[in-house]
Amino acid sequence: MKALEGVRILDFTHVQSGPTCTQLLAWFGADVIKVERPGVGDITRTQLRDLPDVDSLYFTMLNSNKRSITLDTKSEAGKAILEKLIKACDVLVENFAPGAIDRMGFPWEKIQALNPRMIYASIKGFGPGPYEDCKVYENVAQCTGGSASTTGFDDGPPLVTGSQIGDTGTGLNLGLGIVTALYHRERSGRGQRVLAAMQDGVLNLARVKLRDQQRLQHGPLKEYPQYPNGSFTDECPRAGNASGGGQPGWAVKTKGGGANDYIYVIIQPQAWAEYMRLCGREELIDDPEWATPEARLPKLEQCFALIEEWTMTKEKFEVMELLNERNVPCGPILSMKELAEEPSLRATGTVVEVDHPTRGKYLTVGQPIKLSDSPAEVGPSPLLGEHTKEILGEVLGLTEDEIEATWASGALGQRASAAAE
């Protein structure tokens, strides 16, 4: 039995943040029913397409293991179906612009009245306050959550990261909120609202920078590259590739000179001797000018330059092997190409090849959280409206005639949108 088998999710999510949440829940075994606008569907179906007339990788990689129903929730017949779906489901998940579900005619009070056990989970850009009505995308959240102001080099502009910490990061938070609310419902019998704001999610991930903001009041941040020669203001600066933790780290070049021929090295106190032996600089192991973390702090740049002289003579994987043999933490900079081809990630199901009915084979990132008793089987994403009839019949118990009447009302869109049935 899958961990979330029997949990039915009414999935009003679109773009990235919400879909990542419901995809994770689907992999845990929930029945995720994605409601999409007839004829249009989730906008990502057609965004960044690499192949004509097939759902984009953007969509397929965020919506696997779900079922799709097309429903115009603004039409009268559509609203009647939506009421039935609310009664039949355990969780409603949405990440529309603020107020969209209310404008459809389904404020929280009405949802609660229809189904007091329902958990109503939302992702919004901001929590309550001056910006609560704003629309937000990934990079807006990275900028407003403290990530961009603390990412990049001191002499450069703020940078957004390649990781989708605003969207996928907040999707994870919402997933945890939903599962927690389900657990609470087991004991209280009641559903509740769950809100995950993207600004909050990014700030939570940038926690160490709020730590550093407060440390600044008591002197310079000595592990930052600005120390000792640069200057600090009263705002937490960008730290380049400096480690966010207590042990100094930096990305140094390796042999090859390619864009990703780098390795991230960390100088734990006990690792200094190992580095210096590998670098052929044994005389610096006990030299009081270099031997202790305190002595090295004002000259971290020189420490990493010494190490880089050595790493540039070796491939990054060779450096990794040599350092790991000596119990020294490090991480080669892996490109997406290298990750896509990495056999160990295929073996664990972290990178999965999926066969899609119209696209063919493609790679996706599978379930990153592994449960020993509920392994994820990653399937394809649904075609637009692929399960419309199935959901009306099997989930809502509509008869053939009732389904016909609903088609005739126009609430399900053109029959062609359910061509896959």
Does 21 interact with ligand COA (rule: CB under 6 A)? no
Does 37 interact with ligand COA (rule: CB under 6 A)? yes
Query: CB of 400: closest distance to ligand COA in angstroms?
Result: 23
Kind and range of the H or E run holding 170: helix 167-188
Question: How far is the C-alpha of 40 from the C-alpha of 89, rounded, in Å?
Answer: 24
Question: How far is the C-alpha of 237 from the C-alpha of 212, rounded, in Å?
Answer: 9
Measured at the CA of 354, the angle between CA 353 and CA 359, to 5 degrees, comes to 120
Query: CB of 110: closest distance to ligand COA in angstroms?
Result: 15
For ligand COA, the nearest residue by Cβ is 97
Name which of 137 and 362 has its Cβ closer to ligand COA: 137
Question: How far is the C-alpha of 254 from the C-alpha of 261, rounded, in Å?
Answer: 5
Does 35 interact with ligand COA (rule: CB under 6 A)? yes
Q: Which of 173, 167, 176 is nearest to 196 (CA)?
A: 173
Joined tokens for residue 75: 């039409």
Does 33 interact with ligand COA (rule: CB under 6 A)? no
Query: CB of 111: closest distance to ligand COA in angstroms?
Result: 15
Query: CB of 173: closest distance to ligand COA in angstroms?
Result: 12
Q: Which residue has the tokens 């004991």?
A: 187
Q: Tell me the backbone φ, ψ of residue 411, rounded to 5 degrees.
A: -65, -20
Question: How far is the C-alpha of 171 from the C-alpha of 153, rounded, in Å?
Answer: 29
Q: Which residues of 250-289 are buried (b: 16+ CB within 10 A; e: fewer)?
A: bbbbbeeeeeebbbbbbbbeebbebbbebbebeebeeeee
Could you give the count of Cα atoms lying within 13 Å of 61 in the half-sphere of its Cβ? Answer: 18
Question: Is 167 annotated in the active site?
Answer: yes
The stretch near ligand COA (CB under 6 A) out of 95-103, 182-190, 200-208, 342-350 is 95-103
Does 97 interact with ligand COA (rule: CB under 6 A)? yes
Question: How far is the C-alpha of 412 from the C-alpha of 309, rounded, in Å?
Answer: 65
Kind and range of the H or E run holding 177: helix 167-188
Name which of 135 and 207 has its Cβ closer to ligand COA: 135
Q: How far apart are the first and last CA of the chain?
A: 27
Does 74 interact with ligand COA (rule: CB under 6 A)? yes
The stretch near ligand COA (CB under 6 A) out of 70-78, 255-263, 269-277, 390-398 is 70-78
Contacts with ligand COA in 121-180 (CB under 6 A)? Answer: 123-125, 135-137, 167
The residue within the footprint of ligand COA, chosen from 100, 266, 284, 312 (CB under 6 A), is: 100
Q: Which residue has the tokens 């390649």?
A: 162
Q: Which of 11, 55, 72, 167 is catalytic?
A: 167
The residue within the footprint of ligand COA, chosen from 11, 31, 55, 72 (CB under 6 A), is: 72
| Residue type at 83 in one-letter notation | E
The stretch near ligand COA (CB under 6 A) out of 16-24, 226-234, 374-382, 384-392 is 16-24
- How many other CB atoms are there within 10 angstroms of residue 60's CB atom? 21
Name which of 37 and 185 has its Cβ closer to ligand COA: 37
The stretch near ligand COA (CB under 6 A) out of 10-18, 207-215, 282-290, 304-312 is 10-18
Give the binding site for ligand COA (CB under 6 A). 15-18, 35-37, 71-74, 95-97, 100, 103-104, 123-125, 135-137, 167
> Which residues are known to be catalytic?
167
